[in-house]
């Protein structure tokens, strides 16, 4: 929708500001000269900055005529600002270098605008002169704080929303400056703190910075308000973002909620930046525990299991939150790409069901005790786990990642093929959006809430052996579990070196900076670069916590869908 808005605004700027001359005749050999040819604008704390331009039409003989009132004005990116007559106003949505265009008939003249955005935000409990204290202090390398979140060189979506920074300080500082800097961007926040502290950039501050430059630097400086002569500066952390916004919706299970509120399935729409996660199908709506769930690709249906393992199950219409009347039971489920069918697991059997009614239509010839199904994006294959020592669908050892082909024309299943069968316990497989990779868990335990769970990836055709995702995992013993892929491909990197990027999400009990000590599962995300696997490097980036979730909840089972269907509004099926 934002893209559509940008297109409309661009069209308005081209045709709606000025006249192209009407009946005037313009020698096609003439040129348009804009003055000034280059303008520098600075936006401070959101106050718009303006620049008036004039335009001269210079004919081939060198004669000049002022045509400022006759040209149509436009800007290379409407996010930079807009024109009112011949005056350009930079509104603060984006900084950087842009091109101004003046058009008269078929002749176009150009000029450059360079916009810098500076922001200063002082917390209510901080002295109003805090920026001056930091500007006047002398740097003391021996008194540097240390940034502990986010990790250096982290890669995040441009539309992440708010971005937190956490730090520690062992020098008695009680006043801190948090900064986010890049080409043409300088955002600073002043807060109180002690030995541990954190602060967040607002969704607007982060978005402006991300729209303005590919790479940013997070900085922290600390001083003592009562003796502010010296300041300690932490080594900065670099943060960059994908070129495209992350779209789609994430539905996850919040096992507990702060203040004794509802628990169950919550959801977040990445197209609605800055909003908190929405309770979707919780103990309030269902009147009981709702746990395992899977979404159709178009977001119109959700398969759910009630009351824990081997509990009753149903298909929920997302628009109405109305479940089907079903006597079925299953533990894990996956939809086919068109949403017409559902593959479910129960007692080691994979059952094919009607995607809307949950009626059983047949079983998959898995050749063993099978669980944890996922369907390839083209619908031509299924991946699942074959358990050698099963106790239940969610409790086993010796799990092997297995694939089986499917012929949609004949309805015939192929022969099961072991993909990762190394004697370890491998489980929770998931196809990448392009069908080329399978993400999975490996642990030395029983596949249920395993502290030793780690993230691995393997090529779906077996041509690349399994590889542990070290940067995303960070370390062992963190319960890095239930990894899934966001549904769309993105890209990252400077011009000429752009790489394909996919996002993966997972739950982890790692520490969240200084706010959570570890041991409580939260949802984390990391970038995955498929092109780096063949080069032998780690294909992931450092992970970051998704900011929309309740920090007091235990959050698991993040499942993706391409579209978030509004409650109460029916969405057409594809």
CATH number at residue 393: 2.120.10.10
Domain boundary among 198, 219, 241: 241
Residues 6+ apart with CB under 8 A from 101: 73, 74, 75, 76, 108, 109, 110
Radius of gyration of the chain (CA): 28
pTM over 0.75: yes
Residue 290 contacts residue 267 (beta carbons within 8 Å): no
215/111 same-domain check: no
- 244-266 pLDDT, tens digit per residue, is 999 999 999 998 755 677 889 99
Domain boundary among 115, 138, 154: 115
- 58-89 pLDDT, tens digit per residue, is 999 999 999 999 999 999 999 999 999 999 99
Give the torsion through C-alpha atoms of 302, 303, 307, 309, to 10 deg.
Answer: -140
Quick one: what percent of the chain has pLDDT higher than 70? Answer: 94
Residue 2: pLDDT band (50, 70, 90) is very low
- 328-355 pLDDT, tens digit per residue, is 999 999 999 999 999 999 999 999 999 9
What are the strands, taking DSSP E only, across 169-311?
175-182, 185-192, 196-201, 215-224, 227-233, 237-241, 249-254, 264-269, 278-282, 290-295, 301-306
pLDDT, position 437: 97
408/312 same-domain check: yes
Q: What is the CATH number of the domain that holds 41?
A: 2.60.40
pLDDT, position 475: 94
Distance CA 251, CA 320 (A): 16
Give the torsion through C-alpha atoms of 233, 234, 235, 238, to 10 deg.
Answer: -110
What domain count does the chain have? 3
- 496-516 pLDDT, tens digit per residue, is 889 999 999 999 999 999 999
Residue 270 contacts residue 159 (beta carbons within 8 Å): yes
Token pair of 101 as six digits: 């265009």
Q: Where are the alpha helices (DSSP H) in 1-125?
A: 2-16
**Does any domain span residue 371?**
yes
498/375 same-domain check: yes
422/341 same-domain check: yes
Residue 371 contacts residue 345 (beta carbons within 8 Å): yes
Q: What is the CATH number of the domain that holds 205?
A: 2.60.40.1940
Residues 6+ apart with CB under 8 A from 57: 26, 30, 31, 32, 64, 65, 66, 67, 104, 107
Pairing status of strand 349-354 against strand 72-75: unpaired
**Does any domain span residue 274?**
no
Residue 436 contacts residue 460 (beta carbons within 8 Å): yes
| Residue where the block lists tokens 């081209």 | 14
From the list 319, 318, 342, the residue with the least C-alpha distance to 332 is 342
141/88 same-domain check: no
**Does any domain span residue 368?**
yes
**Does any domain span residue 65?**
yes
Distance CA 437, CA 423 (A): 21
Residues 6+ apart with CB under 8 A from 308: 289, 291
Give the chain's mean pLDDT.
92
Residue 510 belongs to domain spanning: 300-561
**Does any domain span residue 98?**
yes
Given a cut of 60, whether residue 13 has pLDDT beyond it is no
380/497 same-domain check: yes
- 180-234 pLDDT, tens digit per residue, is 999 999 999 999 999 999 999 998 899 899 989 889 999 999 999 999 999 999 9
Specify the length of the chain in residues: 574
**Does any domain span residue 201?**
yes
Domain boundary among 201, 219, 241: 241
DSSP class of 234: P
133/104 same-domain check: no
From the list 356, 286, 352, the residue with the least C-alpha distance to 315 is 356
Q: How far is CA 115 from CA 99, 206, 211, in A?
A: 11, 17, 12
pLDDT, position 12: 32
**Does any domain span residue 168?**
yes
From the list 278, 166, 198, the residue with the least C-alpha distance to 548 is 278
98/131 same-domain check: no
Residue 304 contacts residue 265 (beta carbons within 8 Å): yes
23/170 same-domain check: no
Residue 310: pLDDT band (50, 70, 90) is confident
456/407 same-domain check: yes
pLDDT, position 574: 35
């Amino acid at each position: 929708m934002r893209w559509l808005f940008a297109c409309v605004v661009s069209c308005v700027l081209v045709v709606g500001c000025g006249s192209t001359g009407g009946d005037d005749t313009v020698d096609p050999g003439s040129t348009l000269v804009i003055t000034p040819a280059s303008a520098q604008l600075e936006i401070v704390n959101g106050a718009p900055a303006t620049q008036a331009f004039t335009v001269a039409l210079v004919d081939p003989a060198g004669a000049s005529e002022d045509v400022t009132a006759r040209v149509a004005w436009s800007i290379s990116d409407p996010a930079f600002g807009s024109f009112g007559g011949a005056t350009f106003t930079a509104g603060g949505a984006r900084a950087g270098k842009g091109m101004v265009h003046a058009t008269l008939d078929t002749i176009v003249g150009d000029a450059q605008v360079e916009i810098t955005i500076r922001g200063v935000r002082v917390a209510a409990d901080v002295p109003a002169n805090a920026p001056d204290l930091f500007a006047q202090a002398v740097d003391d390398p021996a008194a540097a704080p240390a940034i502990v979140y986010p990790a250096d060189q982290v890669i995040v979506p441009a539309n992440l929303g708010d971005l937190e920074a956490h730090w520690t300080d062992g020098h008695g500082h009680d006043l801190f400056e948090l900064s986010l800097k890049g080409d043409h961007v300088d955002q600073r926040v002043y807060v109180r703190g002690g030995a541990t502290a954190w602060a967040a950039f607002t969704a607007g501050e982060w978005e402006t910075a991300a729209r303005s430059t590919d790479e940013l630097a997070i900085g922290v400086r600390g001083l003592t308000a009562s003796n502010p002569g010296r300041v300690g500066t932490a080594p900065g952390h670099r943060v960059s973002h994908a070129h495209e916004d992350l779209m789609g919706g994430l539905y996850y299970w919040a096992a507990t909620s702060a203040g004794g509120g509802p628990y169950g399935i919550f959801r977040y729409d990445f197209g609605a930046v800055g909003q908190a996660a929405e309770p979707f199908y919780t103990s309030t709506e269902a009147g009981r525990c709702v746990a395992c769930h899977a979404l159709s690709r178009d977001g119109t249906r959700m398969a759910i299991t009630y009351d824990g393992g081997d509990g009753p199950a149903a298909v929920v219409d997302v628009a109405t939150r109305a479940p089907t009347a079903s006597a079925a039971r299953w533990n894990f489920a996956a939809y086919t790409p068109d949403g017409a069918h559902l593959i479910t697991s129960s007692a080691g059997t994979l059952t094919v069901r009607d995607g809307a009614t949950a009626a059983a239509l047949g079983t998959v010839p898995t050749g063993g005790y099978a669980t944890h199904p996922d369907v390839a994006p083209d619908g031509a294959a299924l991946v699942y786990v074959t358990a050698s020592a099963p106790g239940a669908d969610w409790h086993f050892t010796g799990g092997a990642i297995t694939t089986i082909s499917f012929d949609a024309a004949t309805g015939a299943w192929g022969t099961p093929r072991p993909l990762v069968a190394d004697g370890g316990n491998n489980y929770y497989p998931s196809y990448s959006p392009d069908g080329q990779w399978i993400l999975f868990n490996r642990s030395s335990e029983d596949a249920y809430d395993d502290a030793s769970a780690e993230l691995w990836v393997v090529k779906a055709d077996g041509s690349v052996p399994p590889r542990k995702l070290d940067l995303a995992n960070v370390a062992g013993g963190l319960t890095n579990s239930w990894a899934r892929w966001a549904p769309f491909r993105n890209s990252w990197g400077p011009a000429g070196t752009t790489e394909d990027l996919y996002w993966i999400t997972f739950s982890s009990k790692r520490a969240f900076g200084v706010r959570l000590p570890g041991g409580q599962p939260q949802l984390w995300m990391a970038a995955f670069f498929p092109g780096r696997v063949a080069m032998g490097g780690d294909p992931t980036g450092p992970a970051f916590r998704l900011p929309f979730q309740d920090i007091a909840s235990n959050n698991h089972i993040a499942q993706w869908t391409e579209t978030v269907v509004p409650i109460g509004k029916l969405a057409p099926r594809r």
